[in-house]
Amino acid sequence: MPKNPNIKPVELKLRPVETKTEIDERGAFQRQPNHFTTPFGDGENDLKAEAGRYRLFWARGCHWSNRASIVRELLGLEDVISVNQVGHSADEKRKYGWDFAYDEDGRDPETGAEFLAEFYYRADPDYTGRTTVPALVDLNTYTVANNDYHRLTNYFETAFKPFQKSDAPELYPEELRSQIDDLNDNVLFPYVNNGVYRMMFAQSITAYNEAFKDFFTTLDYFENLLETNRFLFGDYVTDSDVRFFVTLARFDTHYYRNLGPIKRSISEYKNIWAYARDLYEIPAFQNNTYFHDIARGWDTKKEKLFVDFNSRFADDIDFHAIWSQPQDRKYLSKTPDQKFLIRK
């Protein structure tokens, strides 16, 4: 039951399956659009940034939501936007989507919710899509205010600026916004972030090969760019670097298991691999990257004759040590010891 007695319970629906509801006639994966996309801004109907009003729900394995948790910490919004993680319980709960698997009683301690879906159906009883993260929930109404992973970090960077810590980095500087948006929307999203899912969910070899080509051609482009650029836009970390990192962190760790023969692992790209480790040095990236959860094995009981690699060995791998191997990227920058643009 909701902790607020004025909030009514809702009826849950079964979670749709991507490979049944988001595949086109060519066998290609077409990701569902975000449903709650009202922007934060100054318009009459826009959402308003307020301290303490919103709660961010995200999942350790989900890179769409991982980037929101990283940006929240980078900007020092921990006391402004509360947070909790969702997961999947190993029982009948899974059929309703994300639940509060990490909480002792299986309920979010702030709202009393048992499933993320409760916030979705309370906001729109007719909602029929998957209930996804990140979900920014309004604590006044226990409804999803925004689940637009395309723009949520940008709202943290702009609308929530008055609440950021005094030395918060400029992840979305005005002079670069059009270029950042272009890279995010037209390269990183279709070919990298969603590119891995286009491969993993493809139901035809033609669709798979198209996604495969898009992904690895784009990695080749970034490998060349990062030969001379410390970060995607030069000397400083931007919103785009967060978006690239969360996919890189998952490829060799998890995604590879759902693909056929791959062109190269991330660790085989000299510049990209060093760049990823340069980002991982930053505490907010480390604190919000749960490698052992990302690499979770499929067969925890290990009773089958053939058990996947991660089920057998992931718990024994020191991912932190691997990702903390030294790299010498800082000398590509005019400000070697400063990774962020800080404007006082």
How far apart are the C-alpha atoms of 135 and 58, rounded to whole Å?
7
Q: If 0-12 CB within 10 Å is exposed, 13-18 middle and 19+ buried, where does residue 167 land?
A: exposed
DSSP code at position 189: I
The yes-or-no answer on residue 127 being catalytic is: no
Amino acid at 239: D
Query: Which position among 62, 120, 155, 172 bears the catalytic label?
Result: 62
HSE of 243 in the Cβ direction (CA atoms, 13 Å)? 28
Amino acid at 270: K
The yes-or-no answer on residue 197 being catalytic is: yes
Q: Are 119 and 142 in contact (CB under 8 A)?
A: yes
Q: Is the peptide bond before 125 cis (omega within 30 degrees of 0)?
A: no
Query: Which position among 197, 208, 269, 275 bears the catalytic label?
Result: 197
How far apart are the C-alpha atoms of 27 and 25, rounded to whole Å?
6
DSSP code at position 54: E
Q: Phi and psi dihedrals of 145, rounded to 5?
A: -90, -40
Report in angstroms the alpha-carbon separations of 324 from 172, 245, 274, 285.
27, 14, 10, 12
Contacts 24+ apart (CB under 8 A), 213-222: 214/190, 215/191, 216/262, 216/263, 216/264, 217/191, 218/187, 218/191, 218/192, 219/192, 219/264, 219/269, 219/272, 222/271, 222/272
Give catalytic residues, as residue numbers.
62, 197
